[in-house]
Amino acid sequence: GGIITQTPKFLIGQEGQKLTLKCQQNFNHDTMYWYRQDSGKGLRLIYYSITENDLQKGDLSEGYDASREKKSSFSLTVTSAQKNEMAVFLCASSGTGGADTQYFGPGTRLLVL
Amino acid sequence: AQSVDQPDAHVTLSEGASLELRCSYSYSAAPYLFWYVQYPGQSLQFLLKYITGDTVVKGTKGFEAEFRKSNSSFNLKKSPAHWSDSAKYFCALEGRLSGSFNKLTFGAGTRLAVCP
């Protein structure tokens, strides 16, 4: 087994601020993901990475940057927070084979004032 | 393009009843299909997945799902339902085509309430 940790659990920011979310996994998985979950909607993929220093854009990458400095960690940066934005950001990891199960972290809840 | 539709935003039923949550998908080939559950205040937990072979797959917590190619569906079932099954359920698709591996497309989810 393994675990995914996300920091911080809650993030309150100001409009226009650059905000960074961090994710660590000890599954020894190659692939890591960042998803955004808005109330009443499904998850939308922001970025994913199939190995250290690799980055792949998802469907919602505009307004975000990501960084995979090492296999176990994956960071997401909101480049300019939007006023009244409220969402949960979920990190996940998996192997690289087809149909490998993705395991999710507890999430970071973002509120922009 | 690939998409997942969960047509029921909310489902309410009584404890002991049978539950079936609907999921349909659109994809040009046979997909990999997943169900995840999200309990209030928690993250997503994996329930089950369909890869190939037997069209009825069994997962954790007593859930099962049936893959039906004929109508592009992957409905989640459990009988009987328990109040502790109250949660939000997400259906997801992963494409088998090159470039699609590992990328999940999620439905909007179905919020299930099981009343004691």
Q: What is the fold of A4-112? A: Immunoglobulin-like (2.60.40)
Number of H helices and number of E strands within chain B? 0, 12
Whether the per-residue pLDDT at A98 is higher than 80: the answer is no
Closest-CA residue of chain A to B103 = A45
B104:A45 CB<8 A: yes
Question: Could you report the per-residue pLDDT of A21-51, keeping only the tens digit for each?
Answer: 999 999 999 999 999 999 878 899 999 999 9
**Token pair belonging to B18:** 């049978």
Q: Is B44 on the interface with A (CB under 8 A)?
A: yes
CA distance B27 to B2: 5
Q: Is B70 on the interface with A (CB under 8 A)?
A: no
Phi, psi angle pair for B71, to nearest 5°:
-125, 20
Whether the per-residue pLDDT at A96 is higher than 90: the answer is no
From 2.60.40.10, 3.40.1210.10, 3.40.50.1820, 3.40.50.620, which CATH number describes the B3-115 domain?
Answer: 2.60.40.10
Question: Could you report the per-residue pLDDT of A46-93, keeping only the tens digit for each?
Answer: 999 999 999 999 989 999 999 998 999 999 999 999 988 899 999 999
Which residues of chain B neighbour A55 with C-beta distances below 8 Å? none
